[in-house]
Amino acid sequence: MMLHIPEVLTNAEVAELRALIDAAPWVDGNETSGTQSALAKRNAQLPEGSPAAAQAGEAILDALERNPLFVAAALPQVVFPPLFNRYAGGEAFGLHVDNSIRQSRDGRTRIRSDLSATLFLTEPGDYDGGELVVEDTFGTHEVKLPAGDMILYPASSLHQVMPVSRGARVSSFFWIQSLVREDARRELLFQMDLAIQQLAGKVGAGAPELVSLTGAYHNLLRMWAET
């Protein structure tokens, strides 16, 4: 499942974050790539674990915790410390699949990447190209979102970032290990959760049928969750 999560950050939060990271030193993006990815990747990146990346990453993790749509869809167990990249002057990232296991530079976080996320930090009108193109079983999807919006997609997907021909595209990207490893199960739980919330608005959260459905949701989650 691909999910667009709007307004993870407000415009003011994006501006603050950009001021912080734009002023920091950037390095060649291949620092974080596997060998195969490194062949396809041309961009710049904030050094992993640098003070600016750590501070900006914390702000994003806080915003994610407060975002009910993200929590319901990702069922996050561990979110990898967010990283930051910038594409300009024709830079791109060719077709690839993200590494299955990710370890942070300090060795403190090691996750299985179930979900990949890109949080856009540049308004789409400020650059040309730079679409995130994701291939899934339903075909090819081009994603270019307003600053502050995020796309969540299965980390198993083939994807690429198209060349940026004007301006610069700055984003945060990271991975999530979910409590529910399988995409199809996670999607089913998400649909059920959304339907329960919508029903609660119509019939009241205390309706016995709704209590029963909510119980079924939790019992499925209990059955499938790995903690």
91 part of the interface to Ni ion, by CB under 5 A:
no
Which residue of the chain is nearest Ni ion when measured via CB?
Answer: 98
Q: What is the DSSP letter of 92?
A: -
Q: Considering only the stretches 60-68, 80-88, 96-104, 123-131, report the one whose residues sit in contact with Ni ion under the rule CB under 5 A.
A: 96-104
What is the token pair recorded at 6?
């709007």
Q: Considering only the stretches 16-24, 54-62, 91-99, 216-224, report the one whose residues sit in contact with Ni ion under the rule CB under 5 A.
A: 91-99
Question: What is the C-alpha end-to-end distance of the chain, expressed in Å?
Answer: 22
E strands along 47-157, which residues? 76-79, 83-88, 93-96, 101-103, 110-112, 115-120, 128-129, 132-136, 139-143, 150-154
CB 194 → Ni ion: shortest distance, Å? Answer: 27
CB 159 → Ni ion: shortest distance, Å? Answer: 6
Among 48, 91, 98, 193, binds Ni ion (CB under 5 A): 98
* C-beta of 98 vs 193, nearer to Ni ion: 98
CB 34 → Ni ion: shortest distance, Å? Answer: 10
Total residues contacting Ni ion (rule CB under 5 A)? 1
What amino acid occupies position 168? A
Q: Is 161 helix (H, G, I), strand (E, B) or coil?
A: strand
CA-CA distance, 225 to 122, in Å (whole number)? 35
**Residues in touch with Ni ion (CB under 5 A):** 98
